[in-house]
Amino acid sequence: MTPQELFRLWAPDEALWSRWAKPVAFLGTIDDDGVPARPAPEGAPAEVVAVPGPDAGIAVVVNLPGAASVATGVALAQRGFRPVPLFNGVADPNGCIDVQVVRRALQAHAPTIAALPLLPAAPPAFLLDKFRLAGGGPPPPGMFDNRWLVLPQDLPSGAFLAGNGIRRAVLLDGPGWLDDDLGHVLRRWQEAGLRLERLDPASPPPVPLDVPRPSRFRSLWYRAAAALGLRPNSAGGFGASVPRPSQSGGWGGGFG
């Protein structure tokens, strides 16, 4: 299966939410030596039985470690949700984030997704990598900086969700703070009238989520400020080598 075929399996043209799926993690599905990548050990899926069914007008945001996020998306797909991969870091052997484990998880679960009779308008389960910022600190020179973040335009607006029957959103996440980039997305949904809930898979059921107004909320400069220190890739997504002191700097490309 080519990277393009694998991407279309996860994001078929007829699916309502495919326009938000990111192709970056699917690039290079075949290893450089031409041998298909072996599936990595699957991340354990989070318990999803506490998530209301897809007929309840719900969108799910899965914010778990990469392979577990993919496996949880499959578990939700088996309940009737459409998993939407939003992984946006470019793979590299010297990367801050192991995109390869996400890519192999997408491959490993492909047969299951292909066999499911998902409807084109099935409600979405947006898949994120909890470790997309890899600790948040800048990597040392010589590393490939493929840290990434999610921006409001990376997901549908609250008005679009509501217009397609989505009235609630469940954040499937571990305990602790709400990631700042997600706060900007969810606060917009909240202001659009969506009811937000948060589900810790280890402590169901979902609980109400009230997202405070984040810093620089709706600022014209938020996108530039949020991505400051990250390295957009010319092919799309995020990823570029950190220059060594003897090398010239620069971001090496614009947003894809």
For residue 208, the cross-strand partners are: 197
Whether the CB-CB separation of 60 and 35 falls below 8 Å is answered with no
Rg (CA), the chain: 18
Tell me how far apart the alpha carbons of residues 124 and 111 are, in angstroms, rounded to a whole number. Answer: 19
Identify the bridge partners of residue 144 per DSSP, sorted by sequence position: 95, 241
Amino acid letter at 199? L
Residue where the block lists tokens 């202001």: 191
The pTM score is 0.90
Look-up: residue for tokens 């979405």? 124
* In the predicted structure, residue 41 carries a pLDDT above the cut 60: no
**Residues 243, 95: Cα–Cα separation, whole Å:** 14
Do residues 86 and 23 touch, judged by C-beta distance below 8 A? no
Q: What is the pLDDT of residues 133-165, one digit of tens each?
A: 986 678 899 999 999 999 999 999 999 999 999
**Mean of the per-residue pLDDT values of the chain:** 88
**Is a pLDDT exceeding 70 seen at residue 79?**
yes
Share of the chain above pLDDT 90, in %: 70
DSSP state letters, 94-126: TBSS-HHHHHHHHHHTHHHHHHS---TTPPEEE
Number of CB atoms found within 10 A of residue 183's CB: 18
Per-residue pLDDT of 217-251, as tens digits, reads 888 888 888 888 899 998 889 999 999 886 444 44
In angstroms, the CA 47 to CA 200 distance is 9
Specify the pLDDT at position 214.
92
Q: Which residues contact 166 (CB under 8 A, 6 or more apart)?
A: 57, 58, 59, 123, 124, 194
- Ordered by start, the domain boundaries in the chain are 3-235
